[in-house]
Amino acid sequence: MTEKLSFDVVVIGSGMGGMCVGARLAHKGYKTLLVERLDRLGGRCSTVEVEGFQKSTGAILTAGNSVVEDTFKEVGAEFDVRKPDPPCVWRINGENHVWPVHEGLMHVIHLCSQDKAGAGRLLQALQRAIEWQIPIGDITLYDWILQFTQDENIIKSFAPLLQGWLCLNIKEIPAVEFCKFMRYQIARPWEVVLPAKGNQETFMMPLANVIEKKGGQIWKRVEAGKILVEDHKVTGVVLKTPDGDLQISAQAVVSNMGPKKTVELTGEQYFDKAYLKKLATIRPVPFFLDICAVSDEPMTEYPGAIMTVGANKLCAAISHSMTCPDVAPAGKHILNAYAAMPKPVTGPIDEEKEMKEAVEELKAFVPGVAEKGRILSIDIYQGEWPIFHSVPTTEFPQKTSIKDLYNVGDGVRISEFTGTTLAAETARVVAEDIQMRISPSK
């Protein structure tokens, strides 16, 4: 390491959290370096090409009228999206109902219920929880619902929203976390939007442009090897570059790798024991499937998200090529569907069985897949590449116990948010804290 460079802030990882915090800080005058180990930007909000189709690496939808859109606008980046029309359809017993995501569950509970009186009690309780006082303690949503009804149809009606958007089943998610999420969605309903070009990396490029135009740098195919600490304060990083190791000094380091990876690259000995004890309680979503089907014509009549009420594993599907034709070769279409574990995972997962059953459900709920399409790929999100680094059971701070070392992304949860909105919100929180505490260099 013969050469040393200096930046105000080093951001490790170019997922939504990393890109948002990098753009926010560069926009405010901080000399920012963002490093990404892959050859593309975006992390689980990016795109790879397969047989001419633009296939997502995770997120397809993003959220308009949210902190994601706020970030783009605040830093002067183009928020180039299209809105599917209708944005969301709830498919129940073969019938389609056009309801917004944040309102649909209430309609579904009433429509699917056999216990109408119980449905009424539950809806009133949900309204009280959202408008007045959310449930307290660690009671699961399942046990909380049983206070008002034992109708299995009502219980199953929660699955698309829980397993598709929060990626956790009803017997594991705390009632308090679900009610916080719903309260925020009702207060500020976000819009279902898609990248206009059908390419998530292209969608993220305006944020990259902000970083570079404001004097920052973005290095791809560069991996963080070590986070450096001295006297309980972060001092920089060691990067693994094609030309060898390179030491970078920095006033602050922001990790978008997940908090456990941050500790691994720093060394447990530098962290407070209470922080490590809390970190040990965090677990990623154990298993999530992304099924990609392609065809010569649309496989569904709806371009927006299809919420599959009554399915066991399947949560949702979307044929985004109907709104954004650039995602597929001319005259072709692509549809992505998502499946999650409907029960707590207590042992090894039979991946082949899960994939087979999920595909069967997809063909049953979206017959056009069987009639017109073929399965292009099935991606499994787990382990080092989970759909979320932390299940929505508890919050975790963006600050570490080391001064000026931060985490952003879905591993450091803020209860009201999920997915890309969660990543963008953690970026906002961290960027504002850095601005209050550290001055940009001249």
Q: Which of 68, 80, 79, 81 is nearest to 21 (CA)?
A: 68
The CB density around residue 384, as the number of other CB atoms within 10 Å, is 10
Q: Please give the Cα distance from 307 to 284 (Å, whole number).
A: 23
Q: What is the mean pLDDT of residues 295-308?
A: 95
* In the predicted structure, residue 300 carries a pLDDT above the cut 50: yes
Q: Please give the Cα distance from 144 to 274 (Å, whole number).
A: 30
Q: What is the pTM of this model?
A: 0.94
pLDDT-derived band of residue 1, with 50, 70 and 90 as boundaries?
A: very low
Q: Please give the Cα distance from 417 to 166 (Å, whole number).
A: 9
Question: What is the pLDDT at residue 343?
Answer: 84
- From residue 110, alpha-carbon distances to 116, 125, 337 in Å are 7, 14, 26
**386-427: per-residue pLDDT in tens?**
999 998 887 899 999 999 999 999 999 999 999 999 999 999
Question: What is the pLDDT at residue 425?
Answer: 98
Question: What is the pLDDT at residue 4?
Answer: 74
**12-59: per-residue pLDDT in tens?**
999 999 999 999 999 999 999 999 999 999 999 999 999 999 999 998
Q: Are 55 and 47 in contact (CB under 8 A)?
A: yes
* In the predicted structure, residue 3 carries a pLDDT above the cut 70: no
**210-236: per-residue pLDDT in tens?**
999 999 999 999 999 999 999 999 999
Q: In three state form, how does the secondary structure of 356-405 look?
A: HHHHHHHHHHCHHHHHHEEEEEEEEEECCECCCCCCCCCCCCCECCCECE
Q: Are 392 and 173 in contact (CB under 8 A)?
A: yes
Q: CA-CA-CA-CA torsion for 54, 59, 65, 71, nearest 10 degrees?
A: -90
Q: Please give the Cα distance from 265 to 156 (Å, whole number).
A: 41
Question: What is the pLDDT at residue 384?
Answer: 86
pLDDT-derived band of residue 347, with 50, 70 and 90 as boundaries?
A: confident
Encoded amino acid at 412, one letter: V
Q: Are 227 and 266 in contact (CB under 8 A)?
A: yes
Q: What is the mean pLDDT of residues 314-322?
A: 95
* In the predicted structure, residue 2 carries a pLDDT above the cut 60: no
**55-70: per-residue pLDDT in tens?**
999 988 889 999 999 9
pLDDT-derived band of residue 125, with 50, 70 and 90 as boundaries?
A: very high
Q: Are 316 and 161 in contact (CB under 8 A)?
A: no
Question: What is the pLDDT at residue 154?
Answer: 95
The percent of residues above 90 in pLDDT, for the chain, comes to 87
